[in-house]
Structure formats: C-alpha cells, structure tokens
Amino acid sequence: MKKQNLKQHNIDFYQDQSLDEHKLEQLLSLAESVNTNNSDISSVSKRNYIRSIAAAIIIAVSIPLGIQQILNTDNSQLVPQEIALNHLKQLSLEFDANNYASLNKMMPKLDFKLESPENTQLAGLTILGGRYCSIQGNLAAQIRLTDKKGLIYTLYQTPLTEALKLEKTGTFPSQDIEISQWNESGLFFGLARSIIN
C-alpha cells in the first residue's frame, strides 16, 4: 500500500475527489441555459437599440419592474432544473411512510406542514417515504411516490416564498424529466417524473 508524507498525501487525497462527468455536465447545462437566455436578451436589445432609447424615456418609471422581469426570465429554468437534478439522484429515503400525516410526525425540522395536494396528477399514486432537501436554499420536503406500473415520482413541498411566487406554474420538460409546478395552500409544489422509463 502506498505511503507518503502527510502533507503530500492530503493534497493527493483531495485531488482524487472529483465530481463525475455526468454530474459535471448537468451543472454545466445549468450555466448554458442561463447564458443562452442572456445571449437572446442581448441580441434583442441590440436590434431594438434606437427604439429602446425612445421607449426608455416613456417607460423610465417602470425600469425597476423591467429589470425584475429580465432577471426572472434569465432564471426561469433554475427551479425546474434543480427539481430534475434532485429527482435523478434518487437519494435514499430518510423516512418510510405511506401518508402525509406520518411524514409530518417524522419530519419535525420542517417549518411548515406537509399537505396532501389536490392536483389530479397525484391521483392513484402511493407514497413511499420522504427526506429533507432544499429548493433554492429553502428547506423543503422531498416525497417519493409510485404509480401502479412502478414508475417513480418525486414531489417537492416548500413554503411559497416571494421568489417562488414568481416561478412559472404548469407542466414542462427539463432534460428527460417532466416537471409540474403549482401553488396550493401557501406551499410551492414541484412534481418530477422521468419521461423515458
């Protein structure tokens, strides 16, 4: 077995730790999607430069709102992508339960109460359990469900913050995952399922 002095060994030890290629590509694709949005906005801005000057005078009072809208557009894919990445990981469940009431008891660190959502996409799904996670830095619950065919779904619940209120709702694909986002009972919900299975 290789032995070496502790300083060099520490260096080598950490150099050996690395993100695998698949994970790196996922994280890079997040940057790509943000850059692409920035680039699109930039091209539009150039084409409309002269018109924008005139328009700017008129809409000066609404600049703060405009900036906010651009920022929202740039980042519109981040929450769905985060949900998709977490869904793909399929990390082991911390709590085994088949209903929300049991999960609420098992997850006391949540600063909100898990709700049984009314969204019809969840009809007929069976709860397998849950774990703590985060969405955009906010504490969230990740609940794993399955349908009759054994297809796995991941449901996220987290309090509806001001930032999450601005998130798009609806169903849209992100990589090979279909993501649905909606608000209900003061909570933000995200549901992920693999499209190819």
Partner 1 sequence: MTTLSNKDNIRQLLQKGYRYAYSLTHNAAQAEDLVQDAWLSILKNQAPHNIQYLITVVRNCFLNQLKREKIVPLVTIEDIQTEELLLASEKDFYDILANNDQLNKALNTLRPIEREIIYLYYIEEYSTEEIAKLTSISKGAVCSLIYRSRIKLKSSINTEKSEIAL
Which of 78, 106, 160, 166 is close enough to bind partner 1 by CB under 8 A? 78
Which of 102, 104, 121, 136 is close enough to bind partner 1 by CB under 8 A? 136
Which of 80, 82, 158, 188 is close enough to bind partner 1 by CB under 8 A? 82
The residues, any chain, with a CB within 8 Å of residue 77's CB and separated by 6 or more, are 30, 33, 34, 37, 174
The pair of structure tokens assigned to 43 is 């091209």
Positions in 1-40 near partner 1 (CB under 8 A): 1-7, 9-11, 13-15, 17-19, 23-24, 27-28, 30-32, 34-36, 39
What's the CA gap between 126 and 123, in Å, rounded? Answer: 9
The answer to whether 110 and 139 are in contact (CB under 8 A) is yes
Kindly determine how many residues on this chain lie close enough to bind partner 1 according to the rule CB under 8 A.
Answer: 42
132 part of the interface to partner 1, by CB under 8 A: yes
The answer to whether 27 and 19 are in contact (CB under 8 A) is yes
Q: Is 136 left (phi over 0), alpha (psi -120 to 50) or beta?
A: left
The pair of structure tokens assigned to 160 is 């509806």
Closest CA to 130 of 95, 105, 163, 162: 95
74 part of the interface to partner 1, by CB under 8 A: yes
Which of 47, 109, 148, 149 is close enough to bind partner 1 by CB under 8 A? 109
64 part of the interface to partner 1, by CB under 8 A: no
What's the CA gap between 160 and 59, in Å, rounded? Answer: 30
- φ, ψ of residue 158 to 5 degrees: the values are -155, 155
Q: Which region, judged by CB under 8 A, interacts with partner 1, from 50-58, 68-76, 113-121, 146-154?
A: 68-76
Binding site for partner 1 (CB under 8 A): 1-7, 9-11, 13-15, 17-19, 23-24, 27-28, 30-32, 34-36, 39, 71, 74-75, 78, 81-82, 85, 89, 91, 109, 132, 134, 136-137, 139
